[in-house]
Structure 1
């Protein structure tokens, strides 16, 4: 019997567990991998993400490692995904993460007049919990259980990698994102520090022979010799310095915003967060940022319930879940829409109209306003709780 079960130890899962710890609830995280996954190499965290990280109590640890860079008035930082995961995991009590744990089913039933979630794992073990939070990514089992429509292919794919320059790369770290655009293609890179660079390449259609899980050397060669051969040499040089273990190629998926607006984001004592709720294209760099927002908002609503009763009361959880879903619904749909349209304007088409929309309307008139309006979001404060509940209250219903 657990208070809360979180499915997935990615950014959303770990951040949600930290938020719950802050409000006095200990969560068990079920992660199907053998260790923390660092797929994606790095990510940009905008001011809205740093607000959330501050509420989670870890912003200072990360800010000390990464310097901010300017981008249209906002000051994001590019961080290693693995470092972010490790910093969040360090905030949790021992044995909070159970690795090699793949769930096969979720059920709900009533025990002693209160709803209880039953999670079954592929090894046959069964876990009962007051709450289940799906943070299990784009192809979420929990989202499917809620009845959310599956994500769809955006028509674009992307390769991402981390490049290492042992003697230093020499790029201006205050420049922000170095970006290159061609017909149906977009690439760029961001410096993490004086020796490491995170880069990405997106195309409107995947090249033949390259699929998810393709050989890293093949991915690198395809980018250099074919896909980006006409791009500036500075970008090709970054790709040549790639740490091959960091290279990934994958289709860019998103959930239709109307599925978020009108879909079931919470049912009984079950909900979703992060990519499990709102998978989006990476064009505005808000995937990880919004996952951190989810964690704080969810922790805040569950924490408000605890502050009223002194413990996590099963009968009140459903109401907290609904308040969380209501608060996140419009925000998530807006981010999905803005990210998709941003990618469409920047990458699709070569007509004069598209070039005008991209170079004049979007870059010069809209981008700064869109980024600023999105990144000025404040996810709210977590209610303070002096200490964790006792094991007796944790196991009580």
Structure 2
């Protein structure tokens, strides 16, 4: 039986490493080959990708249950390639209608008419608005019972030879060969790797999900409205559900968070839009309206920092938080999960076939994670940079910038969404059909 000593924390934790004093007593050490921190899109897709290859992992979630808060995400071609690889597409496609195109108009009455870009009917133009709750539940349902460990908040990480010791808030310590941080923008694993906290932009997003007892009649087109420093969108998930958002730059440092006032704020900003569009916001249940400040990781930090070190790496928002302006946050998290699971699977299968020593296994895992990092670095930098620039242009207020955007750039920016989605993360096992 393996034991370690648990200590009382006397000083503040810095970057996930704490000074320990005052011996309290022995605590049993649990051993897991792969520990994934965070049961979000990246964490669950990585765990499922490993499971599909017969590899067991443990997912740590700080909440008592799945965090299914949040509204929806637009899933483009690249996301569906990842979902195909994970075997989830048949369960998710029937409940989410395929989107036919995007129409871009102005929030100001009498301004330029909408410009429409129709998507092709080929698989390369597949886009659907996926409810986040259904996606997470589908990912979790496919995992073996006991894979997700809830109420498990990571407080620090320690070195232990070729292993890492993951300390939880309840005093539990997990010893692992592989540690993956997928716990979002405040990732303790990312800080352990040397990443700084993501940059908080001056912009905020208000989001909601509206359910209609009867068909909403809104069609299967993305409707986006720009102008007066705001960007708003309405995206049908199916005949009965519409996801909407509004991003803007608050004028007050202490932004309102009350759902009733947030709804009224959105309606005021969209007062010149047609009644059927405003009605979507008016019919939104207050419990589904949320506000968040937009954050991103400067691309140069990904260029110079460590995506992986030893047997530790990060994925999803722990790696590449980005503004939502090209709809690639959740899509790229799914890509991460497939690529990381494939690289780890290759390394672990090679180890098992050769019967390597512990040190040789460690080196194999280290090389597998480096391969993952090399595949994801430039993709992450590209998406973060593009999203930031698109958001800057779309929410601009200057007269001439608005004129150029509305007259010349609307179609270009719409095509940019499709261009960035034309990415195939590949299969879980290279060369498989």
TM-score, with length taken from structure 1: 0.90
Which whole-Å CA distance do the structure 2 matches of 1:373 and 1:167 have between them?
35
Aligned to 2:224: 179
Write the deviation string for residues 85-104 of structure 1: whole angstroms up to 9, x where unpaired. Answer: 01111110001111111110
Q: 2:425 aligns with which of 370, 376, 379?
A: 379
RMSD in angstroms over aligned alpha carbons? 1.9
Residue 349 of structure 1 is matched in structure 2 by 397
Give 1:134's aligned residue.
181
Pick one of 350, 355, 363 that aligns with 1:315: 363
Query: Which of 325, 334, 348 matches 1:306?
Result: 348
Distance in 2, matches of 1:255 and 1:108, equals: 26
Give SS of 2:95's match: coil
> Residue 209 of structure 1: CA displacement?
5.2
Per the alignment, residue 296 of structure 1 pairs with: 338
Structure 2 unaligned spans of 5+ = 1-30, 102-116, 120-124
Larger Rg: 2
C-alpha spacing 1:33/1:189, structure 2 compared with 1 (3 Å): same
- 1:275-321 superposed Cα distances (whole Å, 9 cap, x missing partner): 00000000110000000000111111111112323379333111111
User: Which ranges of structure 1 fall in alignment gaps of 5 or more residues?
Assistant: 385-397
Q: 2:238 aligns with which of 169, 187, 193?
A: 193
Output the CA distance in 2 between the equivalents of 1:205 and 1:216: 16
Structure 1 segment 99-178 matched on structure 2, within 5 A = 99-110=150-161, 115-173=162-220, 175=221, 177-178=222-223
C-alpha separation between the residues in 1 aligned to 2:250 and 2:425?
A: 36
Q: Give 1:241's match in structure 2, choosing from 264, 283, 289.
A: 283
1:329 match: 377
In structure 1, the partner of 2:93 is 63
Q: 2:265 aligns to what?
A: 222
Give, in whole Å, the separation in 1 of the partners of 2:218 and 2:414: 24
> How many matched pairs?
375
Write 1 or 2 for the structure with the bigger share of strand: 2
The 3-state SS of whatever aligns with 1:131 is: strand
Q: Which residue of 2 aligns with 1:51?
A: 81
Establish whether residue 279 from structure 1 lines up as the match of residue 309 from structure 2. no
- Give SS of 1:343's match: helix
Shift of 1:381: 1.6
Equivalents in 1 of 2:251, 2:185: separation in Å?
19
Q: How far apart are the structure 1 equivalents of 2:370 and 2:50?
A: 17
Which of 338-347 and 215-224 deviates more? Answer: 215-224
* TM-superposition CA deviations, 1:144-195 (whole Å, max 9, x none): 111112111222101000112212211112x2x1111121111111111112
* SS of corresponding position for 2:166: strand
Which structure would you say has the larger RCO, counting Cα contacts within 8 Å and 6 or more residues apart? 1
Per-residue deviation at 1:69? 0.6
Match of 2:56 among 3, 19, 26: 26
Question: Contact (CA 8 Å) 2:154, 2:168: kept in 1 or not?
Answer: yes
**Deviation digits for residues 367-386 of structure 1 (CA, Å, limit 9, x no counterpart):** 31x223311111122128xx
